[in-house]
Amino acid sequence: MRYSLILLLFVPCLIFAQKKEKEEKIIYFTDSKVKRSRISLATDGAGYYSNRNRLGEGFNPGGSAGDETPSTNGTFAWNAGGHIIFSLNRSLELWTGVVYATAGWTDRHFEFQDMRTTMRANLEYINVPIQFSFHSQINEILDLEVLPMLEVNLLSSYNEVVYERNTNTLLSETNMADDPDARDINYTIGLSISANIRFADNWSVYVRPFFHYMLNSLIDDSDRPRDVLIGAGLGVGLRYKFN
């Protein structure tokens, strides 16, 4: 009787131990064979609306505050670049890279030599974005991402071109990048939402609407208007994830 009780207690423990051993072997085998890379590469481009906003007057892109702040029109701008992506955990990634970008606006009420003219501002930047991607897998092929961004903006060129309003005759062209008060380095914050669609084991495409806002004025001079750049648009990219 005593030996029967021992067997009744021992057999379930033995079965459990064997089952546990099998599970541990399977986990060990999987972990030893699958070593996934935490690095991805991506390239993308975007088209977007670009305009100026004047600091000290609230968020009023291109808006007018009387004669002192004539209204401006936004322009089409674009950017393109490459990124390296580091996976920090299952739902968080760090993006950084190098991006070439254009920006600008048009002022159709620009005062030049006592004339009402049209001024077009054209800027070019080399940007270094730093983005954190918070992503969630919806199904086997679709991820959704939210990406707050801080971007370092390195000024490449800044031209202000003035035209006669009626005849469109060129009156003046000024390279503002040569101005000692022009900010060579600026900073932009932004937010984007992305849909990431996998079409192969390592490849995916993403579509990404975004908004960004420059933090400091283009010209660091208290006697000049404190204009910053804003933008909103849509980007499309291609991503490769290493095994």
Residue matched to tokens 């009420």: 109
Query: Quick one: pLDDT at residue 1?
Result: 45
Query: Quick one: pLDDT at residue 125?
Result: 98
* pLDDT band per the 50, 70, 90 thresholds, residue 225: confident
Mean confidence (pLDDT) of the chain: 84
Other Cβ atoms less than 10 A from the Cβ of 147: the count is 19
Query: Quick one: pLDDT at residue 29?
Result: 46
Query: Quick one: pLDDT at residue 17?
Result: 41
Rounded Cα gap, residues 184 and 179, in angstroms: 10
pLDDT in tens, 149-194: 999 999 999 999 999 888 888 999 999 999 999 999 999 999 999 9
Percent of the chain with pLDDT over 70: 79
pLDDT in tens, 66-99: 445 567 899 999 999 999 999 999 899 999 999 9
Res 19 pLDDT > 60: no
Query: Quick one: pLDDT at residue 23?
Result: 46
Mean pLDDT of 7-33: 45
Res 42 pLDDT > 70: yes
Res 104 pLDDT > 50: yes
* pLDDT band per the 50, 70, 90 thresholds, residue 10: very low
Res 6 pLDDT > 60: no
Query: Quick one: pLDDT at residue 61?
Result: 60
Res 22 pLDDT > 60: no
Query: Quick one: pLDDT at residue 69?
Result: 55
Percent of the chain with pLDDT over 90: 64
Domain positions in the chain are: 1-35, 37-241
pTM to 2 decimal places: 0.79
- Which class is domain 37-241? mainly beta
Q: Which of 126, 131, 128 is nearest to 86 (CA)?
A: 131
* Pairing between β-strand 170-175 and β-strand 185-198 as defined by DSSP bridges: unpaired
| Phi and psi, residue 31, nearest 5° | -65, -35
CA distances, 239 to each of 8, 31, 180, 197 (Å): 58, 25, 40, 10
Query: Quick one: pLDDT at residue 167?
Result: 83
Res 7 pLDDT > 50: no
Burial 64-98 (b: 16+ CB within 10 A, else e): eeeeebbebebbebebebebebebeeeeebebebe
CA distances, 64 to each of 70, 72, 75, 107, 117 (Å): 5, 8, 17, 11, 16
Query: Quick one: pLDDT at residue 130?
Result: 97
